[in-house]
């Protein structure tokens, strides 16, 4: 029997959806208390639970051959992966937001100050439009920045919009959609092409 496919899964809110999705399709990954790895009883898949932000490093270095991550995580990592398939849930939008009524910045009055955890995507978006930008990097609770006067604008993921609304903010520009992908280390993909296709079939996903 072949060795199991290895996959890195992100801790956090995506993990439950992914584990449930796999379980409904006969791949049961039960992480025992505090354990960070789990193998399904059929021996097809071995999973590692890692921090979202660290996931690209594990797949890039081939420690896990596969990973499930959002476009945001991949874009911020700077690594290139083989995109195998798109998951049917977990999609969000990356948005520029500010206090209600704020105009879209054009940079005519000097650099635009933006607080965000998504530094690469933010820099790229402003550069593509020729708008000078000063980025303040934050790890979370970014919505506080305009409220407390750290930065007039934020770039963040928006799902329902309720966090923005609760803090007196609104989307002033949609920047891009973010999907959740099944990714592969390019060398691993070539070596395990057939089993990986089998996994995307089991997961019932549209192959990219
Ligand atoms: C994410 C994101 C927003 C919020 C958006 O934060 O950064 O804060 O969800 O969701 P909503 O539009 O449905 O309100 P997360 O909860 O992952 O934590 P964070 O703020 O620490 O990044």
pLDDT (tens digit per residue) in 139-185: 999 999 999 999 999 999 999 999 999 999 999 999 999 999 999 99
Q: Which atom of ligand 1 is nearest to the CA of 142?
A: 20
The pTM of this model reads 0.92
Structure tokens at 51: 């921090």
163 close to ligand 1 (CB < 6 Angstrom): yes
Structure tokens at 136: 């303040």
159 close to ligand 1 (CB < 6 Angstrom): yes
CB contact set of 152 (below 8 Å; sequence gap of 6+): 98, 99, 102, 112, 113, 146
Range of the domain at 32: 5-90+179-203
Assess contact for 90 and 182: CB atoms under 8 A. no
57 close to ligand 1 (CB < 6 Angstrom): no
156 close to ligand 1 (CB < 6 Angstrom): yes
146 and 98 assigned to the same domain: yes
pLDDT tens across 61-109, in order? 999 999 999 999 999 999 999 999 999 999 999 999 999 999 999 989 8
Three-state DSSP class for residue 75: helix
Tally the domains of the chain.
Answer: 2
34 and 79 assigned to the same domain: yes
Q: Rounded to the nearest whole angstrom, what is the distance from the C-alpha of residue 140 to the centroid of ligand 1?
A: 8
98 and 166 assigned to the same domain: yes
Q: Nearest to residue 183, comparing CAs of 52, 2, 26?
A: 52
């Amino acid at each position: 029997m072949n060795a199991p496919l290895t996959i890195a899964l992100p801790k956090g809110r995506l993990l439950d959806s992914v584990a449930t999705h796999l379980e409904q399709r006969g791949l049961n990954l039960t992480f025992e208390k505090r354990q960070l790895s789990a193998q399904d009883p059929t021996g097809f898949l071995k999973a590692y639970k890692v921090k979202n932000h660290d996931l690209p490093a594990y797949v890039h270095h081939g420690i896990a051959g596969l990973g499930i991550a959002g476009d945001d995580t991949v874009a911020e990592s700077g690594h290139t992966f083989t995109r195998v398939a798109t998951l049917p849930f977990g999609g969000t939008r990356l948005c520029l937001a500010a206090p209600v009524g704020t105009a879209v910045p054009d940079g005519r009055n000097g650099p635009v100050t933006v607080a965000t955890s998504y530094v690469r995507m933010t820099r790229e978006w402003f550069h593509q439009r020729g708008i000078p930008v000063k980025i303040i990097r934050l790890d979370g609770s970014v919505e506080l920045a305009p409220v407390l006067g750290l930065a007039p604008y934020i770039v963040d993921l928006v799902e329902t919009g309720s966090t923005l609304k609760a803090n007196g903010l609104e989307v002033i520009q949609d920047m891009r959609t973010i999907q959740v992908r099944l990714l592969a280390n390019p060398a691993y993909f070539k070596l395990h092409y057939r089993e990986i296709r089998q996994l995307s079939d089991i997961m019932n996903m549209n192959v990219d």
